[in-house]
Every structure is written in C-alpha cells, then in structure tokens.
A and B are shown apart, each in its own frame.
Chain A
Amino acid sequence: MSGTAPVVTPLPVGSAGKLSGGWWGVIALIVTEASLFGYLLFTYFYLAAQTGQDWPPTGLPGLLIPGINTIILLASSAAFWAGERRIRQGGVRSSIFGFIAAIALGSAFVAIQLLEWKNKTFSINSDLYGSLYFTITGFHLCHVIIGLGVLLLLLAWTMMGYFDHKRHVAITIGGVYWHFVDVVWLFVFSALYLSPYLQRG
C-alpha cells in the first residue's frame, strides 16, 4: 500500500538538498518573480505597440557594451555553478574560488550597467521610453544586487566551514535564485536591446 507501511530504510533528517522545504520555496518564489518580469515586459510591449512615436525614440540602442555585459553575467552563473559542483564533490576549498569569481563577475555587471545608465541621454521622467527603460532595467538591477548579497552570505558561510558534500542546502537554494536572475536578464536584454532591431526590420 502506498506509503502506509512503516518506514524501514533511514530517512534524511532536516534540510536535505532538494528534499528541503527551502528548495520548494525558492521555486515558488521564482515562479512569482518570473510573472513579475512577464508583466513588466507586457507593459513594455503594450506601450510600445500603442505609441505613435519612433521606437525607441532616441534611435536603436548600441549592442556592444550590453552584449559584453550579458556574457559577464552568464559567466558569473557558470562560476557559481562550478563552485556548487565542487562542494557536492567535497571540494569546499576550491568551491570558494568559484563563489568569489561569481561575485566579482556579478559586481562587474552592476558597474557596467550603472555606466550604461550614466551614458543615456534620457531619464526615468523625461519621456515614456525613459520610464520603461529605467524601470525595467532598475528592477533587474535590484535583483542582481540582492542576489549579490545572497552570494556574499553564502561565501561567508562556506568560509566558516558550515557546508560539506552532504549539507549545503543554502548553496543550492541561493544558486538557483542567482541563475534565475541571470536568465531573466536574457529576456530583458532581448526585449530592450534586440527587439527594436527586429521591428525596424
């Protein structure tokens, strides 16, 4: 009978990886945050479709810097992934390097993005496009900064020797959130930077 016979093999105790409540919780969080970005992009496309202006009004966005920045962010995800893999294999020390690299790359993304902002000729309250651009990228940047905070905590905890190959649930949870923040950027990037090229044909 399903599940009604008493357990005879040992069960894991406490927050064991993907059996932990936290893992399920972060997946639910990602679902709702993904919806949030979905509505942001809906807002963008809806307003772009309704306006009679040229879109974007300031001309097509340059792709070089944002393109490089995209790669930096993806590299950060990869570094974190490698660090997590090392911890699962028992290499706590080398995982620390992975986390440091992930944080450095993530911080570089933030710095470059702030430079991008500075170089814009419009602002959040200058026109509709400015409102959209700064709100959407701002939402994403906030997520990156929060993600970096999480990564810093994870790094500290790893250095304090909290985790080993058996118990590192916080890393799994924080990691999937970081990957989510990076994947969302691909959508934001496609909408704000690539889609205008498609529309102009």
Chain B
Amino acid sequence: MAAIDATRHRIDPPLERIPEVGRIPAGSPIEARLEKIWETAPGWRGWLSTVDHKTIGVRYLVTAFLFLVIGGIEALFLRIQLAGPDMAFLTPEQYNQLFTMHGVTMIFLYALPVLSGFSNYLWPLLLGSRDMAFPRLNALSYWIFLFAGLFMYISFPLGQAPNAGWFNYVPFSGPVYNTGPNIDVFALGMVLLGISTTVGSVNFVVTLFRMRAPGMTINRVPILVWGTLTASVANLFAIPAVSLAFFLLWLDRQIGAHFFDVANNGQPLLWQHLFWIFGHPWVYVVVLPAMGIVSDALPTFCRRPLVGYTAVALATMATMLLGFGVWVHHMFATGLPTVALSIFGAASMVISIPSAVAVFAWIATIWLGKPVFKTPFLFFAGFVALFIIGGMSGVMTAAVPLDWQLNETYFIVAHLHYVLLGINVFPVVGAIYYWFPKFTGRMMSEKLGKWSFWTMFIGFNAGFFPMHIAGLLGMPRRIYTYPSRMGWDEVNLITTVGSFIFAVGVLIFLVNVVLSLKRGTRAGANPWDAPTLEWAVSSPPPAYNFATIPTIASRHPLWEGRIEGEKEHTRTRLEEGYLLMRGRETLGTSPIDAKPVVILKMPEDSYTPFLVGLFVSLLFVGLLLHSWTFTALMAALSCAALSVWMWPRRNLGQRTARHDPASARRGGKGP
C-alpha cells in the first residue's frame, strides 16, 4: 500500500475505528507530525514531566550507577579496615554503618534499579511498541526510587545510618538495642522503595500482556522479557512480605507494638521468615533479568540464535517458582525442626537444575557458534564462569550439615558476591557496552573495553576467591577487625588488593563511558548486526520508537532469511505497518498470540507523577519525624494529586463524548 495521508481523517467515530496501514518514509512531513506528537517539551518542564520510557530508562541506569559507585566506595573503606589485623581505620560503629549501607545500596538501590533501567529502555523497543503500558506510572516509579534512595541516606551525614545489616535482624534492630533514628530511616525507606518496585512491576507485567507488536506471539519474546516478567510477577508476591516486616518493626520501635518483642510473647524468628520469604525470591529478581540480557546479547556475538530458547524461558520461570520454596535455607542455624531443614535443603539443591539448564544453553551457544571476541562477549563469557563458581558454593551451603559449618562465615560472603557480581554486575557492564550505541548513537572504545574487562575479572577473582578460604578457616562475617594469630592475615590482604584492582577496572569502564560519549565513533542503527527489534530503529531511537507498528514473524526479525535450516523467507514487516497517529497512540494486542484487539491512547507528559512521588515521599519524612499533621497534609496532597492523575479524560477514551458534541466534532481532542 502506498503512503497515505493520515491527516485527512479529522472527524472520526472516537470509540472505534480500523487502524490504517501504510509507510512513513524517513524525513517525510508525516514523520515530522509524529515527532511533534511524541516529543517532550524542552527545559525543566519536560525534565519534570516526561513519561518517555527511554528517558526514564536512562535515568534509572544513571542513578543506579551512582549508587553503585557510592556503595563501591563504602566497600573500599571496609576493605582498608580489614586489610590487616587489629586495624583502627574505622570505629566499630562506623564499620557497622558502612557495611550496612554498602549492602542496602548494592542490593536495593543498585541491583534491581539498574535492571529496571535496561528493561524500561528496551522493552517497548524489543516488543515493537511505542511505550510501556503505563507511562505515567513509569515516571512515578522512578521518582519514588530516587526519593527512597535519598531518604535512606538522610541520616548518613549525621553518623546515624542504618547499622544492623541489610537483613536487619531483630532484636538487634529493635527498640531496645538500637535507640537512634538509624533503623527507622531504613524501615520507612524500605516501605517507600517497595511502592516504587511494586508499581514498576505492575507496569512490566501489564506491558508484556498488552503491548507486543502483532505477530509477536508469547514464544517469540526475547529472554530479557521473560526474565523481567518473571522478576516482576515475583515482586508482586514478595515485596509485601518485606514491606510488612519493616512496617511491623517500625510499629514495634515507635508505637510500642510487640511483634518481635520476646518479653511480651513476640517472636524474633518472625522477622527472619518474613524477610527471607522476600529475600530469596529477591536474589533471583536481581539476576533473572541479567541472565536474560546475556541470553539475548550473547547470540549476537556467537552469530547464531540461542540454543534452547524454550528450555531457557521455562527454566527462568521454574527458578522463580522454586525460589519461593527455599527461604528457610537462610535459617538453617536457627534451631528449626529437622524435617523442615531436610525439605528446604533438598528444595535448594533442586533449584540448581534450572540454573544449570541456562548455563548449558549459553555454553552450547558459544560452542556451536562462531564467537566474535568483542568486549560485551568477554563480559558475558566471564559471567558464565563466575555463575558456575557461585552456583557451586550455593549448592554447598544448601547441604544442611555443611551450612552449619559455613553459616555466618566469609564463605557466605564469597558466595553472595560471586552470584551478585557474577550474575548481575558483569552482565550489566557487558550490556552497557552492548547497548551504548543504541542509547547514545556512539560506540564505546574496544581497547579500553578489553582493559576494563580483564582488570575487573582478575581483580574480582583475586578479591573474592580468597574469601572462600577465609570462611573455611573460620573467619566470621560482619566483624570489624580480627587478631593476627588467627591465620587470616594473608587472605585478607589479598582480598583488599583484589578489591582495589576491581575498583580500578570499574573506573576504566566509567572513563570509557565518558570519553565515548564525546568521542566514540558514530554507530548506525545496527552496529553489531544483531537480530532483535531494538536494532531496527535509529540510534538513538526517535521519541515514538516505531514510525509504523511492525508485524513480527520470528524471534530474530533482523536475521530472517539467513539462518540455516530455516525454511520460511522474510515475513516480518518493519517498514509498512499500522500508522496510528491521531494523538499518542499504539496498538494493544491479545496476551498469548498478539492479535490486535484495541487502539491504545497513551497519556501525554504530566507533572502528576512527580508530584505524587514527592508528596508520598514527604509523607514518609513526616512519619520519620513524628510530625503527624505534616504527614496528614502530605497524605491529603497525595490523594489530591492522584485524583487529578486519574481524572477520566476524553482524549484517552476514558469517558463518553456524548455530552460534548463540540469536542466529538473536533475528533476527540477535548481535555
């Protein structure tokens, strides 16, 4: 079909229509009109009001990396203190606050947000849509994340930061042993952050089921989408446990409730149950999307599709399902009945099976492909190696008798860093190298890239492998110093040196980012010759993502026709598609087979997400300060802002046009 002029149809029946099909050539006047519809206002107004998923994605990435750097600096302080025996670089209290904030920052403010950044930026591009299902909710989730991060750091400059570990066990974090504001900041901050994570997860879940381009059936979505979807569904079930735990703790501390108060029949173990019912699924939340990144990006550098797509997708979901049934392996040493220990120990062993499926799929992909040793490939291959080591130590601690030996030792610290850095940080850095050209239109330097990889890889292993040995030698976790005669001196010195080498590697990476932003060679739409949809649009993508909504016919739309053994010819249509340009529009499709079912009206930019985020965050400040009138005022303002947000609008098709014929004539352009 030839290009048709969509501007002709000014008057339409606003409640239903047949979407026109056509082409929008680059540089044409229709394209300019589309650009106008989707663009964000310049200056601070656009800055506060934008709902573009790409902007929000980049914000998530930048903010999460800032937290990574802050958390990393905290870690270096800890390592200086532990470099030798009997050091007094930090006081015990400073040490406690730093190791707590290190864990909190890395696990809550870096590990998931950074993945949300990638998913926010990439999902609509991967799925062939023009935005997420709830663009304004997306903006809200970022603002609350930012404010929650600031909130958890407010008492840090006063020397009153959270100090009871990221797991925050009672009774030490209870009102008797911890009288300052430290834990209240953490408790309220976590409830606030939980709101952000929850609305973000709702957005991902709904987007997957509604926003895929026609023809992108459920068995054609990239594995990153499976990973983030699984993580988001898990969040819906898991986040309430931790928010509740922290809220009950706050009630114990501030209102005088007795949930964890032994003297009044409360139960400290309740904390551990609620925390780990959340905590174990959470460790998969922060790795499954990263595993998805590798599953999607590694094949590009192996020049062949992923081996075992279906197996990997199913393994992703199986991991999470099992992940809800293993939380007690964090409580093996708490005196629970033996039957419980056996069951949860066995379940924890079983969980390594789906992980192994994914590992073998990656190895097979490398094995059967023709690897191209670019920087992202190095990071992804390094990730596979680290994942295997971290998985092994996981299975070891899943054995109850062995765990009784290893629990609360540096062996656990080694395990958790191999899995968290191995399965989160390495894929994330690799992913930045991979998608940087898409984000910015420029390539990153390969030379610095290789340097950053090898420095990080060597530094990481030098820093963290010896921790296994320290643990086996009996060195406990969370101690601020140790005497020299224990035989831990050498391993600790090596660990400290290794961690500084690792930090240098990260620094090289960051320098590479800054230099490449200015001087990187220009990248075309698809510099890696990659198979997935995000590479079909220009780098960086236009505000509306896709000029026309494409029709998808395979898992690797840009490799169609050149994969051996694949019979059918190119069927995916990228140039010609649905026009959808009467205001911000995109296509809604059916959940499984992605048939077009509805033309979705997307909201314009708006200040309400920022305002709601601000008021809700101030409400938590009010709670922290016990200022009940201020709290009530902020609650009222939040409700008011929410009502404005939710006000049914004609141009989104949320209310009838019947009572305002004038607006119907204008083509539904009313407020």
Contact = CB atoms under 8 A, between A and B. Distances in A.
Interface in A45-75: 46-47, 50-53
B237 A13 contact: no
Contact of B240 (A6, A39, A52): A39
B359 interface: no
B596 A43 contact: no
B202 A28 contact: yes
Interface in A61-112: none
A5 B551 CA distance: 9
A11 B267 contact: no
A47 B656 contact: no
Contacts of B210: 21, 24
A161 B240 contact: no
B631 interface: no
A163 interface: yes
Interface residues of B, number: 73
Contacts of B241: 35, 39
Contact of A166 (B19, B270, B578, B656): B656
A31 B237 contact: yes
A3 B595 contact: yes
A4 interface: yes
Nearest to B573: A4
B255 A19 contact: no
Given A21-B206, A128-B266, A135-B248, A12 B596 contact: no
Contact of B259 (A16, A128, A149, A164): A128
Interface string A19-36: 111001100110111011
Nearest to B19: A7
Contacts of A176: none
B639 A47 contact: no
Contact of B251 (A131, A164, A169): A131
A127 B274 CA distance: 21
Nearest to A13: B599
Overall SS of chain B's interface: mixed
A199 interface: no
Interface residues of A, number: 55
Contacts of B19: 7, 11
B239 interface: yes
Contacts of B599: 11-14
Given A29-B202, A169-B654, A13 B598 contact: yes
Contacts of A191: none
B112 interface: no
Contacts of B209: 24
Interface stretch (B34-42, B401-409, B479-487, B586-594): B586-594
B267 A50 contact: yes
A40 B259 CA distance: 11
B215 A4 contact: yes
B339 interface: no
A133 B234 CA distance: 28
A50 B18 CA distance: 63
Given A31-B236, A127-B264, A3 B598 contact: no
B646 A47 contact: no
A47 B236 contact: no
Interface in B1-33: 14-19, 21
Contacts of B256: 124-125
Given A3-B215, A4-B552, A7-B18, 7 more contacts: A4-B553, A21-B206, A38-B240, A46-B273, A127-B258, A127-B264, A161-B659
24 contacts: A1-B215, A2-B595, A3-B215, A3-B590, A3-B595, A4-B214, A7-B578, A8-B18, A12-B15, A12-B597, A12-B599, A14-B601, A14-B653, A21-B210, A21-B600, A28-B205, A35-B236, A35-B237, A35-B238, A36-B240, A125-B255, A128-B261, A164-B656, A170-B654
Give the 9 A-B CB pairs with smallest separation, nearest first.
A14-B653, A125-B256, A3-B595, A36-B240, A131-B257, A162-B655, A10-B16, A32-B236, A28-B202
Interface of B: 14-19, 21, 133-134, 137, 198, 201-202, 205-206, 209-210, 214-215, 217, 235-241, 243-244, 248, 251, 255-259, 261, 264-267, 270, 273-274, 277, 551-553, 571, 578, 588-590, 593-601, 639, 643, 646, 648, 652-656, 658-659
